[in-house]
Structures are given as C-alpha cells and as structure tokens.
Amino acid sequence: MIATVRETRELETELISGWGVPVHLLMERAALGVAAVTAHVATIDEPIAVLAGPGHNGGDAVAAARLLKGWGYWPHLFVDAKNLSAVTDEQLSWAIRCGIQARPLSDFAAAPVVVDGLFGFGLNRAPSGTLAKTIRRVNEGAARAVIAVDLPSGTEADTGVALGDRIRATHTVATGLIKVGVACDPAVDAVGELWQADIGVPVALAEKLDGAIIEYEALPERPAGGHKGTYGTLVVIGGSRAMVGAPGLAALAAGRAGTGLVVVAVPRQHAGAIAALMPEALVVPLEAYDDGSLDDGDWSDIAPWLERADAVAIGPGLGRDEGQIRLVRRVWDAWDGPLVCDADSLVPDLKDQPPAGPAVFTPHPGEAARLLGTSPEAVQADRLDAARRIAADFGVICVLKGARTIAARPDGRFGVLLRTTPALATAGSGDVLTGIIGGFLAQGRDPWLATSQGIARHAELGRAAAGESPDSGLLARDLLNYRGVLRKSLPDPDKTGSLAIRLS
C-alpha cells in the first residue's frame, strides 16, 4: 500500500470519521511497530533517545517510548511541547504516568539509538529553529541506529526530496501506508531499511489506492507438453557500431526468461558477434549504413519476422539518428502486438499516435526527460509524476528505472519496487530488463504481470549476482548466470513478530 499525502488524509478521515476507528487505536498500532523495530536493533541496557514533535508523528513516538519502557528498555523522551496536538498531549501524559521523564528537545545531545518522531507527512517547508537544530544534532551524532517514524523528518512525503535539514535514518517504519516519497530515489539514502507497521487499514480501503509494492507473484505453469512455439517468439531490433552487445544481452535475457525462440535483427556487420554471444538465437543480418547503424530502409527485411513474432523489443543499442527514428516509427505504426521500447527507441514523436497493441516504455531518468521535454533533475524531483505523465501521454506502461523503479499505467495506477541493489547500476543492466519483460510478453503473459514480474526478477537477479559485494563490480552478463531466480519464489520477509515487516 503506497499512498500520496492526499490519499493518506482521505483514508485516515474515512477510518476515523466514517468507520469510527479511534485515533488512539491507530496511534497505538503505529507505536507497536515502531517499538518493535527499535527493540529489534537496540540492546536492553542502552539509552534510547525518543524525539517527539508536536503532531501525530510525535504522538506515535511518545507511545513507542511508553511501550519500550514497559518492555524493559531505557527510553529518554525529548519533546517539542509547543502546540501539541490533543492526542499527542494525551500520549505524553500517559508516558509520564508510566515513569518516563519528558525533557525539552533542546536538551538532546546524543544517544546510541534515536527514534525520530519530529515531523510526519504533513511537512511542506524546511524545518527551522530548535527542530532543525535537533535534526543536525542527530546527523552529527554517533548514533549506531536511527529509527524514523513513518518517514525521516525533513522529507517531502510525495516526492522524497529534502525540504531542508533531514534526518539520515538507518531504519524507517512506515506506519500503515507507505508514503510515495519514502519509496522514491531522492529519499533512499535517508530512509535506510524500510519497514511497515500494520495499523489495521481495511482491505476495502486499501484497494482504492492507486499505488502498490511490486512484489513477486507466481507465474503461470508452463505446459508439460509444450514446445518452443508454445513459449513464444520475441523479435529484438537494435545494435549499432558503438553498442554491438546491447541487443545480444536483451536476447540472452529473453532466452533465460523462458522464451521459445529469440530472433535478433541487427546490422550485418554485427551479426557474427551476436551469433557468437547467443548461438541459440536466430540472427537476422540487416543492411546498414557504413557506420553500422540501421534505418527504415531495412524494413522489408524486418517486416516478415514481425508476422511470426509474439512480441517485439526495440531500442537496445539502436542509436538516435534520423534513420533509426524512422525505423522506430514504422515498427510503432505497423506492429499491433506486445511491444517493449527501450533506450534510443524512446522517441517523443510517438506521442501523436497511441500504440496499436500493449506497449511498455523502459526509460532511465535521462530518457524520461527527453520524452517529457524537461531535465533529468526535474524527473528525479518528482518521479511518480514523471512516470504517470509518460504512461498517460503515450498510452503505455512506463517503467521509470532507478534505485526504486516505478511502473505506471495509463490510468494512474502504479507500483514501486522496494527490494533492489545498487549493483544494478551498471551498463547493460537495462538491456537485460528489456529482454526479460519482452520474453514474458512473448510467452503470452498479461502486460502488467510481464512488466511487474520482469522488474521484480531483474532486481532479484542483481541481489543474487552481487552476493557478498552488493555495491559494485557487477557486469550485466553476470545476471544471466542465475536463471533459476527468474522463476523462484522469494522467501518470507523479515518480521518482528507480526508487528512490523521489513520491505527493503
């Protein structure tokens, strides 16, 4: 369950006013999750500094301090006592009655474990005064664990950008709904491990939300009596002198994903290299410019293969000269089956005509900026908006790649991948993703299932291949050594009993 600020407010209003759920009940459930994660990382005998702002986020933190005290831990409460909300003031009185001394925020210096309950999702300006100073003290301190309540204080909840000073957490406990900003790239380094506390949001309300976590789902069983025709034909179009290997990586990934036959249409100069890379593929050598690039003059050789295709992937290594753009346009206009457009095939002019069949775009922020006529920085500043705009403008599923990949549908629904690894930030990784999605489409998967499961399995390939060195050194071809990942189920997520679930 991933929600914008507007959706969160509407859902909470419906729960409290419409369903009659007491606000204190929701706060206690949130506090249980926060306290459980804090107890998970703290030792019983070390001080825990609990920092509470005046709003409901502070009330969650105060309630968590009371619970930790009851469990035998050593919480120290520091509160911004000005303009406390009514429920937070009540929580504070209960904590004091339980033997917790409440001190002003200005008294906080440092602690080995810190609970950040300064600001919630309603923050819309840079922190100032004592609250900003407190954030700086936390960041400058020697805490080995900082647990943020709902989101790191100072984070804009819809985009993940820092509004000013921002807490750098080691753990963030989303209370009920995961705010979009927590799941977006600008907040990744501030969020740390992302956990979710179940506050009892009814399924009937959660199903109304546009956003969801992209998770592993079961793929349909392959027929025992099937043959290569049963499992589809994917045609991959791409390649140029500077990027010979890109279509080959996409083809290999499609094969590993279970595609029955992969056809690779590449410039004649590179056909031998592709055949050596993947002898199982059917390689179609195309006439090309002397510089080894394709253009729409190759259409007569490509068109017959489209008649045999179950899905098409175009773009890996293609190039962006006028000839390649014309070729992309001919495929877009003529092909009415499932289509994946990646890299250089992501042409802004395609917006003037909707795709004839289901289509998936897989841009990185720079390519998304080209489609939208803006800058990569603007895309990263509001990733969900960018993905949704591309999906709606072009009539496609948009996969906006990044540290936390977002997949958006034309109707506004979207998913965010939370389980990922920085090791995937390597050349060719996107070509592998294109091949996996294209391969799933060729096998007849539903377009959203093919896309979301392509994203999920691509990320898990990265985690498996990275092994003990998750930060760097991975080559895209290393991903293809773990084909079992493409069909396996993920293990159960880490849990603290049933109070909080680790999501990243």
Residue 384 scores a pLDDT above 80: yes
Residues 6+ apart with CB under 8 A from 219: 440, 445, 449, 453, 487
Residue ranges of the chain that CATH labels 3.40.50.10260:
2-211
180-229 pLDDT per residue, tens = 999 999 999 999 999 999 999 999 999 999 999 998 887 778 778 888 88
Question: Helix, strand or coil for residue 82?
Answer: coil
The tokens for 148 are 């943020």
pLDDT at 283: 96
pLDDT per residue as tens digits for the range 85-98? 999 999 999 999 99
Note the pLDDT of residue 498.
64
Q: What is the CA radius of gyration of the chain?
A: 25
The stretch 472-480 carries a mean pLDDT of: 86
**Is 466 in contact with 479 (CB distance < 8 Å)?**
no
Pairing of strands 495-496, 500-502: antiparallel
pLDDT in tens, 16-36: 999 999 999 999 999 999 999
pTM for the model:
0.94
Share of the chain above pLDDT 70, in %: 96
User: Which pLDDT band holds residue 497 (cuts at 50, 70, 90)?
Assistant: low
Model confidence band, residue 249 (pLDDT cutoffs 50, 70, 90) = very high
Instruction: Judge: domain 2-211, CATH 3.40.50.10260.
Output: yes
Both structure tokens of 268:
């004649």
Count CB-CB contacts under 10 A for residue 341: 27
Say which residue, 470 or 423, is predicted with more confidence. Answer: 423
What are the start and end residues of each CATH 3.40.1190.20 domain in the chain? 233-481
Which of 99-103, 200-204, 486-490 shows the highest mean pLDDT? Answer: 99-103
Residues 6+ apart with CB under 8 A from 178: 1, 2, 3, 194, 196, 213, 503
pLDDT at 411: 97
Distances from the Cα of 235 to the Cαs of 29, 262, 388, 492, in angstroms?
51, 6, 27, 36
Which 3 state secondary structure label does DSSP give 148? Answer: strand
CATH class of this structure's domain 233-481: alpha beta
Q: What is the mean pLDDT of residues 54-66?
A: 97
- The whole-number pLDDT of residue 494 equals 62
**Could you tell me the two tokens for 122?**
């309603």
Residue 469 has φ and ψ, to the nearest 5°, of -125, 70
Compute the mean pLDDT over every residue in the chain, rounded to the nearest whole number. Answer: 93
Q: Exposed (0-12), middle (13-18) or buried (19+): which is 12, by Cβ within 10 Å?
A: buried
Share of the chain above pLDDT 90, in %: 82
The answer, yes or no, to whether residue 299 has pLDDT greater than 70, is: yes
Can you give the length of the chain in residues? 504
Give the burial string for 285-308 (b: 16+ CB within 10 Å, else e).
Answer: bbebbeebbbbbebbeebeebbee
